[in-house]
Structure 1
Amino acid sequence: MKALEEGKSAIDSVTDSLLLSLPLEDNIWTNAGRGSNLTIQGTVECYAGLMDERSLGFGAVGAVPDIQNPVLVARKLLSQQG
């Protein structure tokens, strides 16, 4: 909420909340990013998605291995849409 009040976009606010103020994807105790549940093979596969409410553009990844912050990949894909 603070990021939105400071004039940041919804995309920036969501990304910041996942990585900065509440490091959800970097926390081993949450079921996200580094703390994700393991597959049957014992590996981590992450999913993330972002959608821009103004342009209706989206970026998403699914079942990606070896990515600590999949939300950053989804954000990059969203930013590359023209």
Structure 2
Amino acid sequence: MIKRRNMLVQILLFIVTLGIYGIYWFYATSKEMVEYKKLDGSPILWTILLFIPFGSFFSLTGSTVRQSWRLQTASTPSC
């Protein structure tokens, strides 16, 4: 059965828990959809896969910052 949730409470929980509730919400909603639609799938796996874009974004950003730092320090003349 799909659970009805109060949107305002959801937003407040997301803010108060600094986004951790959002991860739980994604898992719980995925689990409900799998049960309701009788799908083959793993809500846990879907929740884990949710983090892949964030990991690649932070990795790319980190490497870009490192390269910029190296270029900046290499071109700065020393006294």
TM-score tier by shorter-chain length is: 0.3 to 0.5
TM-score (norm 2): 0.32
Question: Max radius of gyration: which structure?
Answer: 2
TM-score (norm 1): 0.31
Name whichever structure is richer in strand by fraction.
Answer: 1
Name whichever structure is richer in helix by fraction.
Answer: 2
